[in-house]
A and B are shown apart, each in its own frame.
Chain A
Amino acid sequence: MSDLLDRRIRLFVEELLEDAPPAPPFPQPGMVVVRSDDPTGREHMLDTKRNKDSMSGEGRSRRGRTVGALAFAAVLAIALLIGAVLFVAGDDVPPAAPPTTAAPATPDEGAPPPEGAAALVGQTARASGLGTRPDRIEFGTEGGYVVTDLNRIVDTGTYTIDGDEIVFVSDATEGVRWFVDDLNPFTAGQNTCDGVEGRYVVEFDSATHATLRVISDACLTRNAAANRLELDLIEP
């Protein structure tokens, strides 16, 4: 049965990978990759300085338009906020303080840590001295992992891939994300492995402490690390 399944999976993989496209040209630094949705085969590279399609020289990228729209929305929101404050405060508004050149506050510079997991979302703290996996995770005595240094976390949340809830935790180092497969944050989640169901709880209980707790893990219960869940680090 197992051999038959392996043969079928092998055929499935061959079907999946046959006629794989050729490798694209070496991507040069200074260029960014844009999607090539156009079936006529648009150029993949975009000159970031000119922000124009390097082949056609026309138009801005989707990313460029998105950034522009976001910037415009941010400016508009700030203008409305200032207008609202001035309107409410009336004549009591003190003269504006002179602009300063101080750098944005970071966790290391005395800024108070955000409270609760919700406050972590969207934070833009600058990270320094980040370690690798062993520096960021401690094995919890109650099972699962304890993630430390959440002061440096800039974003947490979930998204769904093919029906799987994926937890992601991003720190301020560009591109580094922690992904926890098959977990449903803040509530009990479950997965299935070979017909066995497992359940998990993710608790972000403060700004500096979160526990990824395994109640029962479908596959790992049969392994040595019975009450621990693998927390994968994907780089970069």
Chain B
Amino acid sequence: MGVGATNQRELSSDAEIYATYADDLVRFATGLVGRSDAQDVVSAAVLRSISSKRWSTVENARAYLYQAVVNQARNEFRDRQRRWAKELRAAVDDRSHMSEYRPDVLEAVKALSLRQRAVVVLSYWEGLPVSEIGERLGISEGAVRRHLARARSRLRVMLDE
């Protein structure tokens, strides 16, 4: 079997994995960065993952992809801040982050850190227990509880207003 055939087989396998989790990943990314950027974040995260040397040894592909999405979303924030600064200087129109949301929802989202958004989405949308959230995000159960507690605390204030 030639190298090309091997690559083709791996590509086919990767495509199957992607097809299995793509919708969930995009919805998860939507909770992190909003609708307009979710597809870009997922595409970049998946591309980086399957291009990684470690990808072939990854046992839990779903958890790996979820962590990649969080990481990519974080990079997206950093890039966005730089881009906004440039665009502001260039006096182009301001395309506000998550502007497609209602102002109150937008304000509540902005009150949460990226990790807090992740645990909130996995807890309240997917209904996952703390242990599974930790596995999915690659963090300890204690960290999940900590992020969830902080998110609830912040949301309590924001949603009461």
Q: Are B47 and A161 in contact (CB under 8 A)?
A: no
Is there a chain A Cβ closer than 8 Å to B88's Cβ?
Answer: no
Q: Which residues of B contact A162 (CB under 8 A)?
A: 110-113
The 5 closest A-B pairs by CB, nearest first: A23-B22, A27-B47, A20-B30, A33-B44, A230-B143
Q: Which residues of A contact B78 (CB under 8 A)?
A: 159
With A and B bound together, what is the CA distance between A20 and B95 in angstroms? Answer: 19
Q: Are B42 and A223 in contact (CB under 8 A)?
A: no
With A and B bound together, what is the CA distance between A6 and B124 in angstroms? Answer: 8
Is there a chain A Cβ closer than 8 Å to B133's Cβ?
Answer: no
Q: Are B142 and A234 in contact (CB under 8 A)?
A: no
Is there a chain B Cβ closer than 8 Å to A35's Cβ?
Answer: yes
With A and B bound together, what is the CA distance between A8 and B105 in angstroms? Answer: 11
Q: Are B43 and A181 in contact (CB under 8 A)?
A: no
| Inter-chain residue pair count (beta carbon < 8 A) | 165
Q: Are B159 and A232 in contact (CB under 8 A)?
A: no
Q: Which residues of B contact A13 (CB under 8 A)?
A: 31, 120-121, 124-125
Q: Which residues of B contact A195 (CB under 8 A)?
A: 153
Given contacts A194-B153, A234-B138, whether A17 and B125 have CB atoms under 8 Å apart is yes
B interface with A by C-beta (< 8 Å): 11, 14-15, 18-19, 22-23, 25-27, 30-31, 35, 38-40, 42-44, 46-52, 54, 64, 67-68, 70-71, 74, 77-78, 81, 95, 101-102, 105, 108-115, 120-121, 124-125, 138-140, 142-143, 145-147, 149-150, 152-153, 155-156, 159
Q: Which residues of B contact A193 (CB under 8 A)?
A: 146, 149-150, 153
Residue of B nearest to A223 (CB): B142
Q: Are A12 and B27 in contact (CB under 8 A)?
A: no
Q: Are B43 and A24 in contact (CB under 8 A)?
A: yes
> How many whole Å from B65's CB to the nearest CB in chain A?
10
Q: Quick one: which of A163-200 are within 8 Å of B by CB? A: 164, 166, 175, 177, 179, 181-182, 191-195
Residue of B nearest to A219 (CB): B146
Interface string of A1-44 (1 = CB under 8 A from B): 00001101110111111011111101111011101110000001
A interface with B by C-beta (< 8 Å): 5-6, 8-10, 12-17, 19-24, 26-29, 31-33, 35-37, 44, 159-162, 164, 166, 175, 177, 179, 181-182, 191-195, 219-220, 223, 225, 230, 232-236
> How many whole Å from B141's CB to the nearest CB in chain A?
10
Q: Are A32 and B40 in contact (CB under 8 A)?
A: no
Q: Are A24 and B42 in contact (CB under 8 A)?
A: yes
| 24 A–B pairs (Cβ distance < 8 Å), ordered by A | A5-B155, A10-B124, A12-B105, A12-B155, A13-B120, A15-B102, A16-B105, A20-B27, A20-B30, A21-B38, A24-B42, A26-B19, A36-B39, A161-B114, A166-B74, A166-B113, A181-B115, A191-B150, A192-B153, A193-B153, A195-B153, A220-B146, A235-B54, A236-B68
